[in-house]
Structure 1
């Protein structure tokens, strides 16, 4: 299951109202570490897609939601459960570490 692009307009329905946990990756095109973890998140989405939706928010195009969530530096991943932020991870990490962190929070 590919990662899902989420916008300011779709955040409420895609993330807050989702019936399963959603990991939101806040990223930008100019961010090297963001691009490094992109493929890992795609793989994790394939592996854990039945348990969690992995969404991506481009903070340059979606400034409203980035401001609402207090995004100061990226990559920032926030796990939402039942519409509320439940855990977050700042910075790039290898796929194994990202997956282990996510699984421990689900």
Structure 2
């Protein structure tokens, strides 16, 4: 399961990561976010060593959500070499998520 990351850890774990990073901005009260949890977990397991996965709770880390202009949840941000490469809002199925990740990391 993806580990939570806060603003103090974000730079080191996400922006300075040697591998691409998927960040899930979510809320505990968001039903689509809850539906995404197992999907993101499966992707994390399947891409272990090639992709790091973290979660940001927008209720506790509002600064991070604001700094990345997260308007709705779930919002997925894909980072590579410290830069945001792509973003996607809303729940998706695993095949679409994997395709989106692979397409944006080419």
Alignment: residue pair count:
105
Q: Is residue 53 from structure 1 mapped to residue 46 from structure 2 by the alignment?
A: no
Once residues 30 and 7 of structure 2 are traced to their aligned partners in structure 1, the CA distance between those partners, rounded to angstroms, is 20
- Give distance in 2, aligned partners of 1:49 and 1:27: 21
C-alpha separation between the residues in 2 aligned to 1:98 and 1:45?
A: 11
Structure 1 residues not aligned, in runs of 5+: none
* Residue 5 of structure 1: aligned partner: 4
Q: Runs of 4+ in structure 1 displaced over 3 angstroms? A: none
- What is the root-mean-square deviation in Å for CA atoms of aligned residues? 0.9
Q: TM-score by structure 2 length?
A: 0.94
CA distances 1:23-47 after superposition (whole Å, capped 9, x unpaired): 1000000100000010010011000
For structure 2, list consecutive stretches of 5 or more residues without a partner in the other structure. none
Q: Distance in 2 between matches of 1:74 and 1:49?
A: 24
Mapped partners of 1:8, 1:75: distance in 2: 18
Residue 8 of structure 1 contacts residue 63 of structure 1 at CA under 8 Å; is this kept in 2? no
